[in-house]
Structure 1
Amino acid sequence: MSRTAGSHGPATLAAIRKAGLRLIYEHGYEALTLRRLAADVGILSGSLYNHIKTKQDLLFTLVRNHMTDLLANLDQALAGLDDPVAALAAFVRLHVTYHMERRYEVYIANSELRSLEPENRATIVAMRERYERQLIEILDHGVAAGRFRVADTRVGAFAIIAMLTGICTWYRPDGPLGPEEIVRIHTDLVMQGLAG
């Protein structure tokens, strides 16, 4: 196989990550072969090692990049929000929107956590816990202020995240509802469920 014209450095690495994301989403991590990945990118199999160390390195990078982006977006969405109701609405908007736009990344981060080696898994779990903690803190603040009613904010946070993440299983960009309407429905459901 000949090298794809213009495929070098950062462009090739981006192509490898994009193809890896799609192939893992479609076939699963275990079924992914580096030969297939190289063929999809248009490079020789041995050339992959100029860009990734191993298949595990690729998976970890994809999941870590997803979590890094999610956390950065959440930090930005919550910046300057002291009111727990406003913060919760921002959390819901960010989570639902991100999960509609980044379905491949979300699916892989959830379904292939089991495929990460222990050290890599521990890193990702710590990042997930940081994300969950931010929602727990919002709920704690809302309960303390008398704005939310929830018996256990940790359980409440897990329930909210599970409900919101479910969008990955049914959302279609060509569906009857637009993103704004979907965000509004989810926000209403969460707020009504926590009404104090």
Structure 2
Amino acid sequence: MPVNAALRCANFDERRDKAMALFAEKGFGQVSMRELAAHVGLTAGSLYHHFPSKQDLLYDLIEELYEELQATLDQGRRALARGKPVLASLVAAHWQLHAERPLQFRLAERDLCCLSEGQQARLLVARKRYEAGLLHLIAPKTSLAGERLAATAHVLATLLNQLPGWLHGRGLPEDQSLALMESVLLGGIERTLR
């Protein structure tokens, strides 16, 4: 990649990260385009050159998170192929992803409703695909079906995505936090999937 192109990519990523931090701090709906432009170091007019709209930027940030969540399932599949505990692998992968992208988790949880109906629908498809893959890895032989299966997948995914945020900063060593997450999920799985 030429030096100028690499610099443009780095500047774009830095501006995108600054925009994400502002959205996470104030709330997507509370940030004006003018404030966003000033925060990322652009004029209001040139902001549209970098980001087509505030909504498109938010959509991209949340979509990227769902792509990363889908990648956590690959780690679970690799663990399964090596005969390692799948749940422990998934817990560790989600813990790491949350440590790397806490602001994206916050935006996905809080500001999804600020997107257009079409954007929300596309993200719902991505989330359902992730949830179905997650449940298939954790409980491949479940007898659940229909809405109960979908609800169970949603609850398990929500726990995996929220527990790291609840546990970070609680003073527990990481290994104890991971063990607690695994225990909570295992308890829920055993009771739900009987």
Query: Is TM more than 0.5 here?
Result: yes
* Cα distance change, pair 186–168 in 1 and its aligned pair in 2 (3 A): closer
Contiguous gaps of at least 5 residues in structure 1: 1-7, 145-151
Describe the SS at the equivalent of 1:79. helix
Contact 1:84 1:139 in 2 (8 A): no
Q: How many pairs does the alignment contain? A: 181
Percent identity, please: 27
Q: Distance in 2 between matches of 1:193 and 1:127?
A: 23
Residue 163 of structure 2 is aligned to residue 167 of structure 1: yes
TM-score (norm 2): 0.79
Q: Distance in 1 between matches of 2:104 and 2:40?
A: 19
Give the stretch that moved more between structures: 53-62 or 98-107.
98-107
Richer in helix (by share)? 2
Does residue 110 of structure 1 match 2:109?
Answer: yes
Match of 1:190 among 173, 182, 185: 185
Aligned counterparts of 2:161 and 2:117: Cα–Cα separation in 1: 24
Residue correspondence of structure 1 range 6-21 to structure 2 within 5 A? 9-21=8-20
The residue aligned with 2:46 is 47
Q: Deviations over 1:92-124 (max 9, x none)?
A: 222233224322101111211111112211111
- Residue by residue, what CA displacement relative to the aligned partner does 1:33-58 show, whole Å, maximum 9, x if unpaired? 12112212222111112211111111
2: distance between equivalents of 1:26 and 1:94? 25
- Residue 75 of structure 1: SS of its match in structure 2? helix
* RMSD (Å), alpha carbons: 2.6
Question: 3-state DSSP class of the match of 1:30?
Answer: helix
Q: Give the residue type in structure 1 aligned to 2:24.
A: Y
Aligned-partner residue type, residue 190 of structure 1: L
Match of 1:63 in 2: 62
The alignment's TM-score, normalised by the length of structure 1, stands at 0.78
- Kept after mapping to 2: 8 A contact 1:96/1:183: yes
